[in-house]
């Protein structure tokens, strides 16, 4: 029940409007994105359904599209469908939109293209999400009890806290332009999660990898076709060049 409540409140954070990548208190970490890694995408899809889909829809993605990452229709039905949804339905959040609007003042945003929309000068959208999901810390001054280095004063609680554990952020005060500014210096763990730090980073990497793939499921096909087209054009240019030279060789 506690996990469900935390997940439901998640509408207030990553959800809360546009937030430019790199606008937080720490630089963005490079996300381990590899949309050809089906094992990573499958684990990311499982994490998305378990921890994100309670509040956030992916209304432009159908469950059966997950067959593109190596899951069979039966595996999707057995492992990723927990409501009355059918395998051909879009991934709609379990939360009622009217209730969400009443509780949070607005519906949680759709996450179908979240990895593309969060790109900015500090890094890609995947880099932002990877950093965001790994920099939550306890902050009793906030309503949810959580804060985030990538999105200071975020309204979203840490829905993955059971996996990562709890920790506090340590800051130093530095004088910048005549004002005291807090600079992040490290972490102070308080409780152990069910995963080690390495396992948690890998899990978040898989989730972000899935979000990156979900933003454009055909991206690998697009790249493969594009490479083939460029190779064809390269060969055609050479042939056209030699034909042109042969056609005009006797013309002075």
pLDDT tens digits, residue range 83-104?
778 999 999 988 887 777 777 6
* 3 vs 8: CA distance, rounded Å: 9
Which DSSP string do the residues of 131-200 spell out, in sequence order? HHTT-EEE-TTSTTSEEESSSTT-S---TTHHHHEEEEEEEEEEEETTEEEEEEEEEEEEEE-SS-HHHH
| CATH superfamily, domain at 2-166+192-217 | Cytochrome c-like domain (1.10.760.10)
SS3 66: helix
143 token code pair: 């309503």
**Which of these, 7, 78, 89, 85, lies nearest to 48 by C-alpha position?**
7
Q: Quick one: pLDDT at residue 4?
A: 40
Q: Quick one: pLDDT at residue 194?
A: 96
CB atoms within 10 A of CB 85: 17
Q: Quick one: pLDDT at residue 2?
A: 40
1 token code pair: 């029940």
**Which of these, 223, 222, 215, lies nearest to 65 by C-alpha position?**
215
**Which of these, 135, 105, 149, lies nearest to 16 by C-alpha position?**
105
Q: Quick one: pLDDT at residue 252?
A: 63
Per-domain boundaries in the chain: 2-166+192-217, 223-252
Q: Which residues in the chain show pLDDT less than 50?
A: 1-20, 22
* 56 vs 251: CA distance, rounded Å: 69
Cα-atom radius of gyration of the chain, to the nearest Å? Answer: 23
């Amino acid at each position: 029940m506690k996990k469900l409540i935390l997940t439901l409140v998640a509408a207030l954070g990553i959800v809360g409007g546009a937030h430019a990548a790199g606008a937080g208190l720490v630089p963005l970490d490079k996300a381990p994105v590899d949309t050809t890694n089906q094992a990573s995408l499958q684990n990311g899809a499982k994490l998305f359904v378990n921890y994100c889909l309670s509040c956030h829809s992916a209304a432009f993605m159908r469950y059966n599209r997950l067959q593109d990452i190596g899951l069979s229709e039966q595996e999707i039905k057995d492992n990723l469908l927990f409501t009355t949804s059918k395998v051909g339905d879009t991934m709609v959040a379990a939360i009622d939109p009217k209730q969400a609007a009443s509780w949070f003042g607005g519906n949680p945003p759709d996450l179908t293209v979240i990895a593309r929309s969060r790109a900015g000068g500090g890094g890609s959208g995947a880099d932002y999400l990877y950093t965001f999901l790994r920099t939550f810390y306890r902050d009793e001054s906030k309503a949810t009890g959580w804060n985030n280095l990538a999105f200071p004063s975020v309204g979203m609680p840490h829905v993955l806290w059971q996996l990562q554990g709890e920790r506090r952020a340590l800051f130093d005060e530095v004088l910048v332009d005549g004002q005291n500014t807090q600079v992040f210096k490290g972490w102070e763990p308080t409780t152990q999660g069910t995963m080690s730090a390495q396992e948690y980073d890998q899990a978040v990497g898989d989730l972000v990898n899935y979000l990156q793939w979900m933003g454009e499921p055909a991206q690998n096909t697009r790249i493969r076709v594009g490479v083939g087209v460029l190779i064809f054009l390269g060969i055609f240019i050479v042939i056209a060049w030699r034909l042109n030279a042969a056609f005009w060789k006797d013309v002075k």
